[in-house]
Amino acid sequence: MSGQPRLFGEVALDRGYVTVANLYEALTIQARLEVEQEPYRFLGEILSELGYMTEKQVLEVLNELHKEEKST
């Protein structure tokens, strides 16, 4: 591991919860909202609303990221 913290999308992809296309679509939406100066939307929230991830899967990814953060 490079010492860099993993990102939400990376973990979701590694776990097989989303495809590259799903992730790209959600990231595109997130970037568009930022450009339009809309309130920030978390990637997990967008993926869940698109129907690509369940709330349980989002929580599992967040839990894994939290565990990794504590171990560094």
Question: Encoding tokens for residue 15?
Answer: 């776990």
Confidence band for 72, pLDDT divided at 50, 70 and 90: low
pLDDT tens-digit profile of 4-45?
A: 789 999 999 999 999 999 999 999 999 999 999 999 999 999
CA 19/CA 4 separation, integer angstroms: 22
Q: Which helix (H) or strand (E) holds 48?
A: helix 43-49
pTM of the model: 0.87
Q: Is position 2 within any domain?
A: no
Q: Which domain holds residue 59?
A: 8-64
Q: Is position 69 within any domain?
A: no
Q: Is position 43 within any domain?
A: yes
Q: Is position 72 within any domain?
A: no
Q: Provide the greatest CA pair distance for the chain.
A: 37
Report the domain count for the chain: 1
pLDDT at 1: 46
Q: Is position 1 within any domain?
A: no
Q: Is position 3 within any domain?
A: no
Q: Could you tell me which residues come within 8 angstroms of residue 36 by beta carbon, excluding any fewer than 6 positions away?
A: none
pLDDT at 70 over 90: no
CA 36/CA 43 separation, integer angstroms: 16
